[in-house]
Structure 1
Amino acid sequence: MAREWFVSDRIWVQEVDGGPYEPMDRSAEPEHWLRNVHSNRVIVTQFDDGATSWPEVGYRPTCSASMPSAVAGMLDALDISSGQSVLEIGTGTGYNAALLAELVGVRGKVTTIEIDADLAATARARLEAAGYGHVAVVVGDAAGMAVTEKFDRVIATAGVHLGQLPVGWLESTRIGGVILAPMRADLASGPLVRFEVERDGVGRGHAVRGLRVGFMELRSHRVAALPFDGLRWDDPAADRSITEVSPFKMLIDEASRWAVAVAVPSCRYSLEKKTPERDHGVAWLSDPVSGSWVSVVPDNRSRYTVRQSGPRRLWDEAEAAFRWWRRHGEPPLEAWHWTVAPDRQTVALA
């Protein structure tokens, strides 16, 4: 199936990993556009819920064609059979819905929910043009969906915050069915969790081994960030202490960052490299709710200087969680066990 059938003529692409988004117009650069669409890159088709117009680059990507490798990995983990019914959360471009329809075949059924009415209308038109007009495209907020039928598979293409997987998804899944969702916390994203709904109506699962994904959050799960550029890393009014724990080790390693994320809610991070004006990097933590923040910088004795401000002692919380993770043998993401029930949601070491 051609990916270009579902990609806008005007897009944004990061042609270098970690580089800036570059606007691209199919009519002006047809070969360049097609080369990127055929690559294993994320193709952004909307910024800021449509408030930013091409070619301007917005703050937050809000619709994209996901990396083909991630799409293939998720479909493999979903383990779809011909004739099954699938509910997709987040229609986006419509490409994934078309792939799902191909996998379930003529005896199967695909329903896809999109909160953005304009995106839904565009995806519906593209699906019809590609021969998948039988896919049901529904406009609505999947975070608060009402249960109307049961599905064999539920797949989310939007990030779901820890402890907030909508109960309606669970209630929409048949016993023995599967929910596949990219889970995240304020501090970390990445675990793609495969839940199996058991006879007691509870979904239990683990992170899919070897597959990491990063998706835009469900709109109702978005949390504002505390801008770090308005803070001074060497603020003399902040409380100062010394630690031997490297914040860079803590926050770069996905396993340790996840352990901290579980234990320290409402916390974001940023890592700054050294600059010509500053001969060291800076690790930041912040809580946008309380306004608390932390800066951590290396000193000259293999230790780190910590500055904390605000009512929360964010570094103390993060360091305690990091040491707990080490005491438990530095478990990877796959070692965590996830449970979703109508009255509770938990994540704990298996």
Structure 2
Amino acid sequence: MSAEARALWRARVALLRRVEEAVGELPQVWRQAFVGVPRHVFLPDVVWLRRPGGGRHERCDRAREPERWWAAAYADAPVVVQMCDGGAPRSGGAEWPSSSASQPSIVAAMLLALDVADGHRVLEIGTGTGWNAGLLAHRLDDDRRLVTVEVDVNLARIAEARLAGLGRHPTVVWGDGAEGWATGAPYDRILSTAAVTHIPPAWIRQCRPGAVIVTPWASAWTANGTLVATVDERGRAHGRFRAGGAFMHLRGHRSRITDVDQVFAPDHTPEPGTTTLSPWDVAGADPVAEFAIGLMAPDIWHHWDETPDADGVHTRLWVGDEAGTSWASVDYDGRQLTTFTVHQHGPRPLWTEVESAWSRWHSTGRPDIPAFGWTVSPNGTQHAHVPESAAGPRTTEGADGPSWSL
């Protein structure tokens, strides 16, 4: 074995150790997959990495910064591989991530939740780089039992070629992941690598009774939570949430509101008021509170304005609805944190709805994310199960494992 091959082997083993430090010791079949499927093979030469200390992503070119690129390839951290759906940002807008190689420990946690067994037929939604599909193919050891769907044709083609380069040939489909792939149904397991606001009906129709669906979750308020649901013989699905899961959205589940100006107009005449609920309590200080509000106050989003153009306003929280008909603003004056000025406009009193959701969550003992559930009925209606009382002590990581992110 050459020195380069030894170094690569050590990097793969070191990554496995980092993953197991986060999620615990993996079953042998997954240990073999994480060592046997090299992550770097699935990364393009140009990626985007978060700057130290957070903030925006910055470009990393393998040819110019090989050490940094290789370190990212085998770090327990996400690596962005595409910006702006492969195009340019809007005029005057900043670049935004649209596809990534997910954090390896999060990948492992989701694969464990999927509970794949020998002989299962698996549908993956969101091929991305193809690394996750490579891990699944290694575990199944039968490429005919794996279908992976990618909405971006270029990503799909590149991933298929990379998988083939490792001798893996699952069915790679270019299409809308929300539609699944009926040709390969029925499936025993469905794994999504993109966040959804509800379970696409096609996924349930394409499941065998007893099938498990694992998907990151998103509400208009926050992208946080991973749903693990089981489908029964009547076409119903019921599951519980796990902490975290801040993945990029399935494209059809993205918000259509991208700017406050799509909702707010200078000639609006809002209703004034005050609140004693701190905007930071519902938007920034507590991810569990944000998750609860996202389920209990549906179709409401928020946006922080750190430099509002308004006299006497230091910081403003904007709140709007997905219909684009209502908005609210909550203002911090920069001096005191007991009372905040509120303005509401439109048919929905949005801040009042947020206050009501927060009060309900707080009055039931601030239950943690695993206390919440989601149900899909046979007629296709979907709704959240909100606990009436706290279900066990709250923890930073949640009751079911590590806090998951992109």
1:141 matches 2:176: yes
Q: Structure 2 CA distance, aligned partners of 1:226 and 1:305?
A: 24
Find the counterpart in structure 2 of residue 263 from structure 1.
296
Q: Which moved more, 1:103-112 or 1:217-226?
A: 103-112
- Report the CA distance shift for 1:286/1:279 in structure 2 as closer, same or farther (over 3 A): closer
Q: CA deviation at 1:67?
A: 0.9
CA contact (8 A) 2:77 2:102 kept: yes
1:35 matches 2:61: no
Deviations 1:75-97 (A, max 9, x none): 11111123322110010100000
Q: CA deviation at 1:17?
A: 4.8
Q: Which runs of 5 or more residues in structure 1 are unaligned?
A: none
- SS of residue paired to 1:190: coil
Q: Which runs of 5 or more residues in structure 2 are unaligned?
A: 1-36, 388-406
1:266-277 to structure 2, matched below 5 A, reads: 266-273=299-306
CA contact (8 A) 2:313 2:332 kept: no
100, 104, 108: which one aligns with 2:136 = 100
Deviations 1:172-202 (A, max 9, x none): 2222221101121111221101111223332
80, 85, 90: which one aligns with 2:121 = 85
- Report the CA distance shift for 1:5/1:58 in structure 2 as closer, same or farther (over 3 A): farther
1:224 matches 2:228: no
- SS of residue paired to 2:129: coil
Q: In the alignment, residue 137 of structure 1 is paired with which amino acid?
A: V
Deviations 1:304-342 (A, max 9, x none): 111223333211111111112222222221111211234
Find the counterpart in structure 1 of residue 347 from structure 2.
311
Find the counterpart in structure 2 of residue 183 from structure 1.
217
- Report the CA distance shift for 1:249/1:235 in structure 2 as closer, same or farther (over 3 A): farther
- SS of residue paired to 2:188: strand
Q: CA deviation at 1:217?
A: 1.2
1:156 matches 2:192: yes
Higher strand share: 1
- SS of residue paired to 1:161: coil
1:19-98 to structure 2, matched below 5 A, reads: 19-52=55-88, 59-98=95-134
- SS of residue paired to 2:348: coil
Superposition RMSD in Å: 2.8
User: Could you tell me the percent identity over the aligned residues?
Assistant: 35
- SS of residue paired to 2:209: strand
CA contact (8 A) 1:147 1:172 kept: yes
Q: In the alignment, residue 211 of structure 2 is paired with which amino acid?
A: G
Q: Structure 2 CA distance, aligned partners of 1:201 and 1:140?
A: 24
TM-score by length of 1: 0.88
Q: CA deviation at 1:278?
A: 7.4
- SS of residue paired to 2:182: coil
Q: Structure 2 CA distance, aligned partners of 1:84 and 1:231?
A: 47
Q: How many residues were matched structurally?
A: 342
Higher helix share: 2
Q: CA deviation at 1:139?
A: 1.1
1:251 matches 2:286: no
1:265-344 to structure 2, matched below 5 A, reads: 265-273=298-306, 280-298=314-332, 300=336, 302-343=338-379, 344=381
Q: Structure 1 CA distance, aligned partners of 2:223 and 2:257?
A: 15
CA contact (8 A) 1:48 1:58 kept: no
Q: Which runs of 4+ in 1 moved over 6 A?
A: 229-232
